[in-house]
Amino acid sequence: MKSYALIPGTPAAGNAKMKTLYAGKEKGEENTSSLTHWHEEAECITLLAGSLDFQVNERVIPLHEGDTLFLFPGVIHKNGPEPPGTTLIRVLVNEEVMTADREIQCRLIRPFLENRQSDFLYIPASRDRDGALSSLLQDMEKGSHEKGLLGRLKVIALLHLLLYRLCLLFPPEKKKGPLASPSDRQVLKDMADYIRSRYGEKITLDDIAAAGKVSRSKCCSIFKTYMDSSPIDYVNGYRLGVSRTLLEYQDTSIQDIAYACGFSSQSYFTKLFSRTFHMTPREFRASHRAG
């Protein structure tokens, strides 16, 4: 399985890989949505303030203050616009760091991740007794700022407590067999995989449909269902996401970044970037370098 994010909401650039354990606090400022994506990491978020619509496969789940959502690996998802004042903690973790105990791994963690009737676990604030899950996620985020191995050990220890509480709420042994994934989801992943590997080249609607072995109309329908956009709009959105990463972490010229991301000209790239992120590529780079 391939990861489709370098950091939450940002497509991976080049051969960049996600960390095995990520914990971060996010505050809504730009009121923009993340790109629809999936990854091999399990993801858990808790909403500290505000409200947020979160799409998981075909469903949209309204989240409110105090709610927690756990996503299983490989699930197609995106969070909607984060209005100003929205604050959340997001944790992503690979199975490999969940535990080193083989018996617990085989008899508890793996069944918890694989044997399920749903692609997510939703814990409303009313069910999170005394805010235990929310507090654990906040402590993990704080621990991620501590330097050295002791800080990492603290986060992993808290991760184990998080898994313990989730397993108490949703015992793996009570679940049935794995949930069958509808064929459209695999078609979407095939088409998105094509876009990810060719975003620097010219991509047409026919190319995307051919990658999924579906008609143009079926291709558009699938993208509308999962991405809430047209295939070409998603291509441009992915390119813009990659360009943000390159602008922030590389010193490559803006013109070269535009061409490397598949845009036909720097002016067109600047137009789309400004319309989406409300600042020019140059302003974006300057603001992040200053920070």
Domain count, the chain: 2
What phi and psi, each to the nearest 5 degrees, are found at residue 270? Answer: -60, -40
Beta strands per DSSP E along the chain: 21-27, 42-49, 51-56, 59-64, 68-71, 77-79, 87-93, 120-123
**pLDDT tens digits for range 63-106:** 999 999 999 988 999 888 878 888 999 999 988 888 888 888 88
The crossing angle, in degrees rounded to 10, of helices 216-227 and 231-249 is 50
Residue 20 has pLDDT above 80, yes or no: no
Report the pLDDT value the prediction gives residue 174, as an integer from 0 to 100: 56
Say how far apart CA 239 and CA 247 lie, in whole Å. Answer: 12
Say how far apart CA 23 and CA 90 lie, in whole Å. Answer: 6
Report the pLDDT value the prediction gives residue 291, as an integer from 0 to 100: 55
Report the pLDDT value the prediction gives residue 173, as an integer from 0 to 100: 57
User: Residues 119, 209: one domain?
Assistant: no
- 174, 199, 230 — which closes off a domain? 174
Residue 7 has pLDDT above 60, yes or no: no
Q: What is the mean pLDDT of the chain?
A: 85
CA distances from residue 92 to 20, 74, 95 in whole angstroms, order as listed: 8, 12, 10
**Lowest mean pLDDT: which of 81-95, 105-119, 205-219?**
105-119
The residue range of the domain holding 198 is 183-290
- 125, 149, 174 — which closes off a domain? 174
Residue 6 has pLDDT above 50, yes or no: no
**Lowest mean pLDDT: which of 10-14, 129-133, 179-183?**
10-14
User: Residues 132, 252: one domain?
Assistant: no
- 174, 197, 229 — which closes off a domain? 174
| Report field, pTM of the whole predicted structure over 0.85 | no
Report the pLDDT value the prediction gives residue 15, as an integer from 0 to 100: 41
Mean pLDDT of 33-48: 87
User: Residues 214, 146: one domain?
Assistant: no
